[in-house]
Amino acid sequence: MSQEIKRQTLVLMLIGAIIMVVVFLLALRFWAERTANDPDNVRTQLTKANTYYNQGDYQNAILWLTKAAGQNNPEAQDALGYIYANGKGVPVDNEKAVYWYKQAAALGDFKAHEALKKYNIVTEKPPSFVPGE
């Protein structure tokens, strides 16, 4: 094979690789945008809940946390326990707080497990605690 043919083959392979990378990046961008706006996505729900909570709009925060908690997300369940325990935008409701803390603790949430101690409730199997998680 001549040097010119080798060079042309190499150039075509490089162009093909560049096209594949561009297509991959476009697909990744499409997926990220679609996921970020999907109201059924737990991360989207938690992000919206956090935004509303930080704005002091506790009713909308509770709405989005409840959606995420319904998908067995312990972070959302623990947050709902905190909201009801501390009366953030709602009257203090220890029954609801304990309910949500128990749900989160059952899924291994250490903070919820610790919060239940305030109510003299000890979960049967305390979750393992890994610093930094």
**Residue 30 and residue 50 in one domain:** no
Per-block mean pLDDT, blocks of 10 residues, the chain (133 long): 86 91 87 67 91 96 96 96 96 95 92 91 62 49
The CATH number linked to 65 is 1.25.40.10
What is the span of the domain harbouring residue 59? 42-119
The total domain count for the chain is 2
**Residue 54 and residue 98 in one domain:** yes
pTM of this prediction?
0.68
Cβ–Cβ under 8 Å, residues 89 and 65: no
Per-residue tokens: 56: 């002091």
pLDDT for 78 equals: 96
Cβ–Cβ under 8 Å, residues 82 and 115: yes
Looking at residue 2, what DSSP letter applies? -
pLDDT for 4 equals: 86
Cβ–Cβ under 8 Å, residues 94 and 104: no
The H or E element containing residue 44 is helix 42-54
**Residue 31 and residue 88 in one domain:** no
Asked if the structure places residue 127 within a domain, the reply is: no
Vertex 110: Cα angle to 35 and 57 (nearest 5): 50
